Amino acid sequence: MGRDSKEPEIFVAKDVCPVCGKNSLELRWSETEIPSFGRCILLSMKCESCGYKSSTSWPLSSKGPIRYVLAVENPKDIYAKIVKSPTGTIKIPELSILIKPGPSSNSFITNVEGILERVKRAIMALLFGVESEEERKKYQEYLQTLEKAKRGEMKFTVIVEDPYGISRIEHEDREKVREEKYHPKNE
């Protein structure tokens, strides 16, 4: 966890592999510049036994907690850019969408349409496991609502929060995005 005051160029350690369980997971930390995210710590893992690979990054600098709010009101707003760092949260209350920071939630850059597409794929995957007709119907109705949102046929709000102020919403019309400070709840 915590960041050292000294900044090692690169740091290597061995750990237990989460896939094969052998003590052959090589961890490498390094500092790097990532476009749109600034200076970051990059952690990459590679297992010499089974080939498992993973990487994640988190920001070194912090602007403090910032929340961005975009009201999607016309089809053009769907193309507003969303930058999400590993510590960012994305919310669309009208569609019950909540993408929280977590191990499986890495950095990505997309647009509002891309977020809706991600949720759609997750719901489609869920649908395979659904056995009750009632539940299936519920998911299918939700998918239709998502499609409507993607076509710009409904209004909704996109909120991006990040305790480090790295994640954000970028719209070509800057006035459309409200930027405010907020107080993250204690975890």
Residue ranges binding Zn ion (CB under 5 A): 17, 19-20, 47, 49-50, 52
For residues 46 and 54, give the distance between their C-alpha atoms in angstroms, rounded to a whole number.
Answer: 7
Task: Work out how close the CB of 105 gets to Zn ion at its nearest, in angstroms, rounded to a whole number.
Answer: 23
Task: Work out how close the CB of 130 gets to Zn ion at its nearest, in angstroms, rounded to a whole number.
Answer: 33
Helix (H) or strand (E) holding 110: strand 108-111
Q: Report helix, strand or coil for 31.
A: strand
Task: Work out how close the CB of 1 gets to Zn ion at its nearest, in angstroms, rounded to a whole number.
Answer: 23
Task: Work out how close the CB of 16 gets to Zn ion at its nearest, in angstroms, rounded to a whole number.
Answer: 9
**Buried b or exposed e, range 28-62, using 16+ CB within 10 angstroms:** eeeeeeeeebeebbbeebebeeeeeeeebbbbbee
Q: Which is nearer to Zn ion, 18 or 93 (CB)?
A: 18
Q: Which is nearer to Zn ion, 27 or 50 (CB)?
A: 50
Q: Which amino acid is at 55?
A: S
Structure tokens belonging to residue 2 = 């915590």
Task: Work out how close the CB of 49 gets to Zn ion at its nearest, in angstroms, rounded to a whole number.
Answer: 5
Geometric angle at alpha carbon 101, from 119 and 42, rounded to 5°: 115
Q: Which is nearer to Zn ion, 50 or 122 (CB)?
A: 50
Q: Which is nearer to Zn ion, 49 or 61 (CB)?
A: 49
Cβ(41)–Cβ(16) below 8 Å: no
Q: Which is nearer to Zn ion, 27 or 124 (CB)?
A: 27
